[in-house]
Amino acid sequence: MTDARVQLKNVSKSYDGTTFAVKNASVTIEPGEFFVLVGPSGCGKSTLLRMMAGLEKITAGRLEIGDELANDMPPNKRQLSMVFQNYALYPHLTVEENILFGLKVRKVSKSERNRRCLEAVEMLGMTEYLKRKPRELSGGQRQRVALARAVVSHMPICLMDEPLSNLDAKLRGQMRAEIRQLQQELGITMIYVTHDQVEAMTMGDRIMVLKEGEVQQIGRPMDIYNDPANTFVAEFIGAPPMNMAVGDLTQGGRLIVKDGFSTKVIGAKTSLLETQVRVGIRPEKLLIEVPVDDTHYISLLGKIRQVELLGNETIVTFDCGDTVWKSKVSGQWPVNKGESIRFYVHEKDIQLFHMETSKLLTVKAVNDLAVASTLYS
């Protein structure tokens, strides 16, 4: 193989011939890229990773690694390493023996094995633990041993299957940064599976979002966050998730959200008028204070249901008509349950989705949201 490029071309996996764990997945993962597969449990992301590794047989489509077709290629010929969720360490071997096990199987010389081992443990801060057994290590240290084993292999591609899910929140944050830094230093292609959208957003050069075995969207983290392809992506990526409500586009080109607000939609296509749409607003776009004299902010009245003070920010849950909304505001806002206050959103921060297909209605479909707006209360 000449490079670490991985290409999936309409790759599918079915266990019974009728239902699909993965269906028609296509993407090109470039050499040196940190690529993340993200989605809820059971969406097919681990199955897709295992097909790349050669641990699951591909039902249909093509998998190419470098310049070669890899559908039936044995795992040991694919030039990749893998880090599993449960670390897969041998309990009776020391840290050093666990790290070097794969190199011994490949009959790498002793001097080269030692050189690679010392290089890897120094990089991961594990030098003083070489003679310990896995049971003597913490979860984070075991994870570093699994990473060191992948590093010493010198494979151009590294697959990771939810490697941080067994760690506590603080250690996960630390290990996210370490893995990303390690990947950049080594320049390897890393394909990373997670159900945690925070991991996906903070680590990936690009993300593939999966739902029920089907690819929903592929793109850079901020592109996916700012322009989600559909309501599933909009609600899955982001914490708290995007607020959703039902709105009406009238013949006059006005968007009306019941008990919420009304705003003018300029240049809407005729085919979209007199129809219902899904209206999406990110929680951080709902403000309690608004810049003075900015006429492009829309106001909506909310009745406070719950307040979560997090120190540097506040999550406010409120009722707006029959819809429950969330606002994420900077700083500390000790508002009281049951209190009614006004929230403000800029017209450009309102996104519309097709009611039936759930797909984002882009600017080509709705043009620019609103130049003029009025309160609807």
Q: Which domains can be identified in the chain, with CATH numbers?
A: 6-234 (3.40.50.300), 240-375 (2.40.50.140)
Helices H, strands E: what count in the chain?
Answer: 9, 20
β-bridge pairing 206-211 and 34-38:
parallel
Percent of the chain with pLDDT over 70: 89
pLDDT confidence of residue 270 = 46
- Spatial separation of the C-alpha atoms in residues 356 and 271, rounded to whole Å: 14
Phi and psi angles of residue 336, each rounded to the nearest 5 degrees, phi first: -105, 150
pLDDT confidence of residue 97 = 92
Q: Range with the lowest mean pLDDT among 88-97, 164-173, 227-236, 318-327?
A: 164-173
Percent of the chain with pLDDT over 90: 48
pTM for this predicted structure = 0.87
Contact 32, 188 (CB under 8 A): yes
- Strands, E assignment, the chain: 6-14, 20-29, 34-38, 60-65, 68-69, 80-83, 157-161, 189-194, 206-211, 214-219, 243-249, 254-257, 261-265, 275-281, 297-309, 313-320, 323-330, 340-346, 351-354, 369-375
Mean pLDDT of the chain: 86
Instruction: Say which residue, 79 or 256, is predicted with more confidence.
Output: 79
CB 374: neighbour CB atoms within 10 A?
Answer: 12
- Spatial separation of the C-alpha atoms in residues 245 and 223, rounded to whole Å: 22
pLDDT confidence of residue 73 = 94
- Res. 166: pLDDT tops 90: no
Phi and psi angles of residue 197, each rounded to the nearest 5 degrees, phi first: -70, -25
Nearest by Cα to 77 from 68, 88, 89: 68
Q: Range with the lowest mean pLDDT among 142-146, 227-231, 324-328?
A: 142-146
- Spatial separation of the C-alpha atoms in residues 360 and 262, rounded to whole Å: 20
Instruction: Say which residue, 300 or 291, is predicted with more confidence.
Output: 300
Cα torsion 84, 90, 96, 101: sign: negative
Contact 314, 331 (CB under 8 A): yes
* Cα–Cα distances in angstroms (integers) from residue 303 to residues 103, 258, 261, 310, 342, in the given order: 63, 15, 15, 20, 9
